[in-house]
Amino acid sequence: MWLAWGATFGAQAHGFEERYDLPVPLAYVIAGACAVVLLTFVVAVVWIRRPDAAQNRPSISAPLRQGSVNKHGICRCLPKAISFFLFALTLASALWGTHDPLMNLAPTLIWIGWWVGLSFAVIIFGNIWPQLDPWRSLFELLNAVARRLGLTKGIALNWPWSDRIGRWPATVFLLVWCGLEVIYPIAMSPIKLGCLAVAWSVINVTGMVCFGREVWQCHADVFAVYFATLGRQIGNRPTTGSEVVVAGEVGFVLAMLSTVLFDGLHGSATWGYFDGALQAWIPQWLDTNGYVAGVLGLLTVWLIFVAAYQLACQLCFALMPTPISSYCNPFTRLFLPTLIPIAAAYLIAHNFSNLLIQGQTLISLLSDPLGRQWDILGTAKFYPDIGLVDAKLTWIVALVAIVGGHVISIWRAHRLALSVGLSGAHTAIAALPLTLLMIVYTGISLMVLAAPMVSPAP
């Protein structure tokens, strides 16, 4: 589903020519998954009671400023060189290669190899994007050259960044990226992908020059913020209560969740009802290609996620004892790290089959990146094994990922409640609204996933 042309390979993201026949009704599966999430909440309340069990809690802001782990030597330069070469090869393929998206390296490498594959790697290993970011490497190269030429302060102008703007630019860019991916068929046109890559390169490097690399990548570079945030689901960091709330960071994390769910919703039968309702009051001439309906749908799903999370957090805040609540506002910031495992779970559930099936085509495309009948690596005749993943395996992985992500989220939410001084019954009561929201998320996400993948039980 990440690629509109994925059906050509015989397998879409969640859809196969065969469907998995559930051994029990789907309603039972969803009810069981929601029960597991609720049971996790009960176990957490009973099992974890002492505040010192939650002295280390996840953070969002600080990891966005972290640099490369390796500061010297080949371990730092080699990944950057390989990544920059692949970036240049992808750009050349998009701009000068064949217009056939199935024969051009750029669409598959961008959507599957980079956007999906790297996201999976970040979930497993943490944020490795700073070591691979070609735009960061380009800026560092230009900055080093400028220093060699006598510009001692480098090329960064270090303009101040307004706290009111915060991370909203990255949020907007993420919504636009999802719109280009799901609504507008940019994947069908390598040349459009190439032009988009050039435009983003200009915007990204210019932003680093104007505001400084660290500030820009922390607030506006959507990919730097995305991978850094996604990488936060594998570890904790000791924090104090003095962290500054970054404007727009709640909207960004909820965009990570809602855009993936919208991706699944947009390809389901349910989307037809929404589209039909919009057609009743949107003039046909204004939305001949369905783009307006798609944008409205994307924004609606995102706003629903934001409103639901804000409401749940406000209820949590209202249920806290007054002495505690006096220094724990806003709750939206406190519980935000608990949503990251859910974002990772949605990503795995929606893209597992894509990565394993369509990702195989990279073996042949790397041997003929421009679609000119080359065979550089001797693998141009390789054909993907579309039977590697079937509907049953995809459903099982999706079910485990969704339930597991929400279970981790509930567990972390309880620990975070303890970290602000709650204990005993107060912890359970304060975290209950967020728990109910997680249960709703579980049910909705499984329904969206199941629609194209499984058949009702007889």
Round to the nearest angstrom and report the end-to-end CA distance of the chain: 27
pLDDT of residue 134: 96
Exposure letters 433-442 (e unless 16+ CB within 10 A, then b): bbbebbbebb
pLDDT interval class at 68 (50, 70, 90): very low
pLDDT of residue 153: 87
Considering the chain, what is the average pLDDT of its residues? 83
Q: Residue 178 above 80 pLDDT?
A: yes
**Percentage of the chain exceeding pLDDT 90:** 54
pLDDT of residue 67: 45
Residue 169 to residue 221: CA distance in whole angstroms: 8
pLDDT of residue 98: 95
pLDDT of residue 16: 46
Pairwise pLDDT comparison (244 vs 89), residue with the higher score: 89
Q: Residue 45 above 50 pLDDT?
A: yes
**Percentage of the chain exceeding pLDDT 70:** 81
CB atoms within 10 A of CB 357: 24
pLDDT of residue 363: 95
Q: Residue 70 above 90 pLDDT?
A: no
Q: Among 267-276, 352-361, 380-389, where is mean pLDDT lowest?
A: 267-276
pLDDT of residue 123: 94
pLDDT of residue 283: 72
Locate 318 and state its tokens: 């209202």
Model confidence pLDDT, tens digit, residues 83-131: 999 999 999 999 999 999 999 999 999 999 999 999 999 999 999 999 9
pLDDT of residue 18: 61
Helix axes of 340-357 and 425-450: crossing angle, nearest 10 degrees = 20
pLDDT of residue 74: 59
Mean pLDDT, residues 385-400: 89
Residues 6+ apart with CB under 8 A from 57: 236, 237, 239, 337, 412, 415, 416, 419
Q: Which DSSP state fits 319?
A: T
Pairwise pLDDT comparison (80 vs 239), residue with the higher score: 80
Residues 6+ apart with CB under 8 A from 174: 222, 226, 252, 255, 256, 259
pLDDT of residue 431: 80
pLDDT of residue 192: 93
Query: For residue 341, what is the enclosing H or E element?
Result: helix 340-357
CB atoms within 10 A of CB 33: 21
Q: What angle do CA 273, 276, 278 make, to 5 degrees?
A: 115
DSSP class per residue in 201-215? HHHHHHHHHHH-HHH
Mean pLDDT, residues 257-283: 81
Mean pLDDT, residues 341-360: 93
pLDDT of residue 244: 55
Give the number of residues written for the chain.
458
Helix axes of 222-230 and 117-125: crossing angle, nearest 10 degrees = 40
Model confidence pLDDT, tens digit, residues 403-424: 999 999 998 888 877 776 666 6
